[in-house]
């Protein structure tokens, strides 16, 4: 059956070498390392973690970060094994095609697109909130929404998506350089918050470690 049809590694490599389907290697080791850190340390770490600790989990939110770190480690090892076994583009779509068939690969491919769209929407939303906050602190009070054709639209996320769309159109190397700058800045802020936060830590707040439901 067509949906159970699989490929071999040799076929996948041959397809990747077809004229017009080859991708230029434009990212170095450092770029890939920073890209991995950018994915692991997302924009939500500045807002979601604090909200979860202050509203729901209390100090026990530490367990969430430990579980997340363990899960990331497993995902890293899985993708490292996949990439070394099948050194072609396609991510989980290609690996599923080779092992489980075209039908499941089709589902995985659309799931990857849905994942990227959902993640981009969340990040754009929070970046829009950050942008509005920065303008407010600077004394520039602007409405967070605009009316466009009878629809109410949040201009912050729209602007963020537009800017990064232009960067992607400019090329992989340009967007990678911008990503490197933002990721290093983000990591520096995270380390700064951790170091300074230790000086304000009150151990009395760790009781109860797991608050009542």
Q: How many domains does the chain have?
A: 1
Longest dimension (CA), the chain: 65
Model pLDDT for residues 58-93, shown as the tens digit of each residue? 888 888 889 988 998 898 898 888 888 888 888 888
The answer, as to whether pTM is greater than 0.75, is no
pLDDT of res. 74: 92
pLDDT of res. 184: 92
Do the domain assignments include residue 145? yes
Preceding amide of 208 cis, omega within 30: yes
Helix (H) or strand (E) holding 173: helix 172-199
Do the domain assignments include residue 212? no
Give the span between the Cα atoms of 125 and 119, in whole angstroms: 10
Give, as one character, the DSSP assignment of residue 207: S
Domain that holds residue 73: 7-16+26-206
Model pLDDT for residues 159-211, shown as the tens digit of each residue? 888 988 998 898 888 888 998 998 999 889 889 988 998 899 888 888 888 88
Do the domain assignments include residue 1? no
Give the span between the Cα atoms of 19 and 52, in whole angstroms: 50
Long-range contacts of 113-116 (CB under 8 A, 24+ apart): none
């Amino acid at each position: 059956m067509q949906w159970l049809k699989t490929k071999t590694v040799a076929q996948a490599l041959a397809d990747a070498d077809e004229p017009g389907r080859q991708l230029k290697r434009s990212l170095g080791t450092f770029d890939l390392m920073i890209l991995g850190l950018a994915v692991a340390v997302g924009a939500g770490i500045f807002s979601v973690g604090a909200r979860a600790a202050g509203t729901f989990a209390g100090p026990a939110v530490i367990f969430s970060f430990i579980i997340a770190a363990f899960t990331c480690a497993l995902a890293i090892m899985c993708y490292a094994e996949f990439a070394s076994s099948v050194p072609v583009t396609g991510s989980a779509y290609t690996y599923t095609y080779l092992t489980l068939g075209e039908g499941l690969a089709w589902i995985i491919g659309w799931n990857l697109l849905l994942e990227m769209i959902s993640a981009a929407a969340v990040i754009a939303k929070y970046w829009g909130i950050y942008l509005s906050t920065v303008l407010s602190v600077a004394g520039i009070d602007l409405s967070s929404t605009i009316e466009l054709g009878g629809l109410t639209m949040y201009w912050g996320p729209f602007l963020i998506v537009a800017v990064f769309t232009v960067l992607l159109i400019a090329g992989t190397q340009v967007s990678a350089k911008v990503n490197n700058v933002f990721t290093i800045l983000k990591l520096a802020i995270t380390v700064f918050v951790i170091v300074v936060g230790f000086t304000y830590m009150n151990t009395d707040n760790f009781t109860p470690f797991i608050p009542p439901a």
